[in-house]
Structure 1
Amino acid sequence: MTPPPYMGRTFPETTSHYLTTGTDVLDSAGVEAALKAVTSKGYGPVAGAQLVLLCNEREADLISTWRRGLPSREATADEVAADANAVGPTAKYDFVLSASAPAYLTDETIVGRQAPSDFNGLPVFDSYGEAFVIKSELIPAGYVIAAATGGPNSEGNPIAIRQHPNAAYQGFREIPGAEQYPLINSYCQRSFGVGARHRGAAAVLQVTEDATYTAPTFAV
């Protein structure tokens, strides 16, 4: 599906928001590419939405080591073979702890807005550039999601909740049992689904040396 043009910029039919790092270690270049995949389509702060990075604790810990102007990882053997002075990708931004961080000492000054302690009920770990970093064990290790969100029920969100068009079948329903004794054999019912609303508002990055993205598997 070819993304629609944005601000005079067009995108090829081969455009994909399923990205890989090309290395076995997460680096700033991969995360910045995932964020750029979203913002280049017109989503994010320019549209009044917040950028978020959803990741596992393992990836969040790596992001916490990034500093602007410094390599975000060591150079790979192939990079060193091509250039003995090669270094890993240089971070464009500083990792900055959110307002919920434990007390810490620093001789540096934060310029700009510090990330809040939570975003719509989700605890914010830190920020990288314009994105809030939210860590969760629901995100498989080795994957990072970059997304733009306008908040709960925003029409600009990448995913929308679907429910029955008939209002009588929407929401949490209590269905009674026998008319004489409504609590006997009664049960509760809630039905809903999800669907893509704005495909360009999110991108997923897999940490892998492979050029081809592979979807994660989940234990059931």
Structure 2
Amino acid sequence: MQSRRVVVVDLGTGNLRSVTKAINTVSPNSEVHVSAEPSVITDADHVILPGQGAIGTWLKQLGPGSELRQAVVSALGNKPVLGICLGLQALYRYSSENGGQKGFDLISGTVRHFSEAETGFGTGVGQDMRKIPHMGWNRVRHTRTHPLWKDIGNGERFYFVHSYYADSQDPDQIAGQTEYGITFTSAAAQDNLFAVQFHPEKSQRAGLTLLKNFINWNGTC
């Protein structure tokens, strides 16, 4: 296991402590910081963008023209980056949450509420209804090979908590898919970016393996 300088970007949402603890578990020699300081992000080898809750609140922390936004955008362009939950959704062009939010437009597609899907979602009453949010363990089917899937079985279970899902347009950017009434993108990849809708820090062995693979990843496929 290589020693890395890792920053878990603190945008005021997300289970930052659990993510940090998981990284320390799989890579005890790495230097892990939880920070929103642009200089810390700039100096890091690997960047993790976690987030839970409302994407509008998350994106608000990245004010237009701010040094923090510039540091994050720079990292998205040239460092290995792992997005978790909102960190996945923010990579898309647009999310319908909070009245509509513009993302970084690095992954083709949009983010939609499950209720916008054509199939049945609601209270969970009846076989064809699915509860919102999608919460609990579900399988992730690999749709392409990737270094972060090393030693993780196709169809492995991960832990999800979300009401909005990624609707990808470019099949080449989809790394994993999950079934929940519909088929949605649960992992996306593009160049130095890998992002997941599930929470690896809550996903036991499979999640820790993915985080270990990320720390060892050089940002190329």
TM-based fold match above 0.5: no
Larger RCO, structure (CA 8 Å, separation 6 or more): 1
Name whichever structure is richer in helix by fraction: 2
User: Rg bigger for which structure?
Assistant: 1
The TM-score with structure 2 as length reference comes to 0.27
Choose between structure 1 and 2: higher strand proportion: 2
